[in-house]
Structure 1
Amino acid sequence: MKTFTYEKATTVAEAVRDIDRAGAKFIAGGTNLLDLMKLQVETPDKLVDISRLPLGEIEEREDGGLTIGALVPNADLAADPRVIAKYPVLSRALLAGASGQLRNKATTGGNLLQRTRCYYFYDTAMPCNKREPGAGCSAIGGFNRILAVLGTSENCIATHPGDMPVAMRALDATIVTLKADGDKRRISIHDFYRLPGDRPDLETVLEPGELITHVELPAPPEGRQVYRKVRDRASYAFALVSVAGVVKVADGKIASAALAFGGLGPMPWRDGAVEAALVGQAPSDAAFAAAADALLADAKGYGSNDFKIPLARRVLIATLRELTGE
């Protein structure tokens, strides 16, 4: 591991002030960052420890929603009675991620910023545009079984590995940040992540030194909530395909739908065309197949991940059956 300096921040203002140069990183749970540092994929020359900041509370909002501190552990968020009662899709997504030990340590803010698990990103002997822009993408034409089939570019086909962010995208979460100059920002999760394009190393719209402080959830949506995850084994495995869904059925028709997907794209994936294909339709396999057609219209496999396209179709249809009681 490369030598680095380490500081503990005692206030939020101090934390952003201490990120005073390129190469510095915030650290809280460290469940992803420390692994990357050991492999020298990440080589910060300074770590600012934010684990003791007062950002570990879950508070109710006047609109019926929740404000979640960035340092709330995944295990605590999944077990919170308000989350279980109002946002079961989020609780289930959190419980589907990693292991109990990691959920005890991993934080809400850190979970949003997980890096890809692409094999070539982790292997510093192999070219990777996400790790070193301009180096090339070894995954295209390589072993890409776990990688993306939506939203890719000729420079990168890495997939986002998270579960919690998929549920939060279905719930229309807002991410609250503090910038290095002291300004605050509220960023819709729909605008938070970036497609790879020609700069796959830039994964979010965060500016250097910008700190996630909270995540806001709006009032709980109407309808049934489901999180379904397909993976290689039942524990400690990332999604091949996952679906976070919120669907309301009224008068025999789908009145509203919010669907987000994991394992398919470089970010938690949501496509309005999928929901538009459902709203106003009676729940049926024909309507569900139309939604799957909309989701996968631009899907592209790269060899060993071709199976994800028919798998995504089956998982979406099964999830919609559960959401609508069909």
Structure 2
Amino acid sequence: MVIDPLWKHDTVLLPEAVSALNIQSAGVYVDGTYGRGGHSALILEYLGVNGRLIVIDKDPVAIEHARQRYADDPRVHVWHGSFRDFPEALIDAGINEKIQGILLDLGVSSPQLDDAERGFSFMREGLLDMRMDTSRGESAAQWLNQADEAAIVDVLWRYGEERFSRQIAKEIVRVRTQNPLQTTTQLADLIASVIRKREPGKNPATRSFQAIRIKVNQELDDVEACLQQTLEYLAPEGRLVVISFHSLEDRIVKHFFRDVSSPPRLPKGLPMMPTFFQPPMQLVGKAQRASDAEVSGNVRSRSAIMRVGERTA
């Protein structure tokens, strides 16, 4: 596979995220969302000859990019799969000790959005796919053409917070009986025909496309499963850095960091928590957003929010 050099991706919060990892020269790090490797490349600048970097991505194109770029770098191990399964990637790389850092840059990369064939964008004509991993699983078209109306309503509301979820689902079910949904513009036009009241500056298909993409790729399930495993694999002072791009992701991340950095809540009437109790993780700084300068150069960074935690013991 030849990687198209025109597919560019501006890595969001690049120096901030790598700085937050507090790279140790001989440490072991996981980039759970390689994309086009912006974070990985900068991490490697700080790693010495004894350091290791495990790069993970669902996207076969991203994985091929990593394999081509780092074929001659023994510090890098490339693994195709979901970041929720990073323990498997560590085993595959022969690593059995605690690691020093995990980075998750959630969301869809620019090459995925810009490649019409991937079906992520309502702005480009393409097959209605939306799978990050095109080698497996059910495409958006397959799901939309067989799911019952109630299931579609649930997904559009739960993952897209779409106020017109019932009307959109009803129209999808009506239309598909005559003409199965196959393309992005077909779905976008259907949604536009249903939504009469528009949000200023936002395409009416935005929320639905987000919701369907999250459903097809099990994105929120992956985030929850991954976060719960990080405590087991991070070494003391190891860092977890997570960049989210919408409120559903960030809510999960925020609640996780709150829960693991706070003492347990005890029912009223029980003795006080011993003063020596130490939560398994502590927060590092406050949630951080892209600077005005970064947003002006990359509008997709405007919704990014980064949270950082450090393993305490």
- Greater Rg by CA: 2
**Between Structure 1 and Structure 2, which shows a larger proportion of strand residues?**
1
TM-score tier after normalising by the smaller chain length? under 0.3
The normalised TM-score by structure 1 is 0.25
